[in-house]
Amino acid sequence: MASTQPAFGGMFRQLIELGVIEINTEPLDDLIERRLKEFWENTSCPRCGHQHLMTSETRDRVRCRECNFNPVYTYGTPFHEKHLSCGEVLLAFLLYADTLLSINQIVPLLGRTYKTVHTAIRDVEAAIQRGFPVVWELLDQTIDGPTQVDESGRVCSGYKGQEPPRNSRSRGGSSRSGRSRWRGRHGDQLTLVAACRDSLRVIRGQRGIDYSGDLNPVVQEAEDLSQPLGEVWTDGLQAYREMERDHRTVIHKEWYVSADGVHINQAECLFSLIQPWLRKFRGLSKQGLEQAAHTFGIVRSLTLAGESVDSAIDCLVIGSFHSST
Ligand SMILES: [Zn+2]
């Protein structure tokens, strides 16, 4: 993990080493413990399948009255055997997903190895992605209005050892006049496609330089998360490609084309937010970058829906229990 730039300035790093920046995750540890135990009480035993699991406020172990299976309450979740407390695991993820700090910068704050923090973040991320659709559907909200779809004005890249391109954004021009590519030795390149509807934000990476302009996967995902879909708004260029595509596969009949693209400003706004955030992933693999972009959409959706850390915990817990069955 050699980095040419220090994660923090020297003085701030000294404060970390002096122990000035103390992190206390106890309230978060308690919150997660309570939530996990609630889920155990309402789920079936992973060993015998009976729904007779008992928890205790004072004990770390859950017990099945049927088969006596007694795992710790973190069993089967990303919190299990992490060398980090539950709260630290979630904190690592939230620092990664909800701030501009890179994993290299989060590591000294938590005082653990890079591998420990990285594994925790990736495990939480995978569980949250699995749990999000369930939690999103349970939220008390109505998603309506048109769905705005757009592709990112530049190709992000998991390149190594080079500076990102200057942001030569030309004012008043079209959304893609400032397009530039991050090129690296490994040539990992990615275009982002986003769908925005109400508080919902879906972001997916499209691999490769020969980007086909396929907006359907994100539209499909937006539909799954907010049915029925209704109108899809995009700008002229994509819609043209889409019409060509539609000759072969008619998926969405209601795509609406705006000549000047003014109706996709939600999507353009989303890209302006995600780009500084993605800059911290220089050197990340394509897969990692795709996953990170998708995570950004989930965290942004929960934020716009007025949701809190509790919903993130719910996504994580539901996602964990989904994978174990
Ligand atoms: Zn059992």
Q: What spacing in Å lies between the alpha carbon of 315 and ligand 1's midpoint?
A: 25
CA-angle at 111, arms to 106 and 113, nearest 5°: 80
CA-angle at 129, arms to 127 and 131, nearest 5°: 65
Least confident of 61-70, 121-130, 240-249: 240-249
Q: What spacing in Å lies between the alpha carbon of 185 and ligand 1's midpoint?
A: 52
Q: What spacing in Å lies between the alpha carbon of 23 and ligand 1's midpoint?
A: 37
Give bridge partners of residue 255 from the DSSP assignment: 232
**Tell me, what amino acid is at 231?**
E
Average pLDDT score over residue span 23-44:
94
Q: What 3-state DSSP class applies to 239? A: helix
Give backbone dihedrals phi and psi of 255, rounded to 5 degrees, phi first.
Answer: -65, 130
Strands 200-207, 53-54: pairing is unpaired
Closest by CA position to 219, among listed 289, 148, 287, 281: 148
One DSSP character per residue, 74-136 reads TTTSTTTT-SS-HHHHHHHHHHHHHSS--HHHHHHHHTS-HHHHHHHHHHHHHHHHHHHHHHH
Structural domains in the chain plus CATH codes: 10-139+309-323 (no CATH), 147-304 (3.30.420)
Residues, Cβ < 5 Å to ion ligand 1: 45, 47-48, 64, 66-67, 69
Q: What spacing in Å lies between the alpha carbon of 42 and ligand 1's midpoint?
A: 13
| pLDDT category of residue 181 using cuts at 50, 70 and 90 | very low
Helix (H) / strand (E) containing 300: helix 286-304
Q: What spacing in Å lies between the alpha carbon of 44 and ligand 1's midpoint?
A: 8
Which has more confidence, 262 or 191?
Answer: 191
Q: What spacing in Å lies between the alpha carbon of 201 and ligand 1's midpoint?
A: 39
CB 182 within 8 A of CB 164: yes
Helix (H) / strand (E) containing 318: helix 309-323
Least confident of 100-114, 117-131, 168-182, 190-204: 168-182
Which has more confidence, 232 or 32?
Answer: 32
What is the C-alpha to C-alpha distance for residues 230 and 208, in angstroms, rounded to an integer?
A: 30
Give bridge partners of residue 233 from the DSSP assignment: 148, 256
Q: What spacing in Å lies between the alpha carbon of 71 and ligand 1's midpoint?
A: 10
Q: What spacing in Å lies between the alpha carbon of 319 and ligand 1's midpoint?
A: 21
Q: What percent of the chain has pLDDT over 90?
A: 46
pLDDT(91) > 90: yes
Q: What spacing in Å lies between the alpha carbon of 53 and ligand 1's midpoint?
A: 7
Q: What spacing in Å lies between the alpha carbon of 41 and ligand 1's midpoint?
A: 12
| pLDDT category of residue 155 using cuts at 50, 70 and 90 | low
pLDDT(182) > 70: no
pLDDT at 104: 87
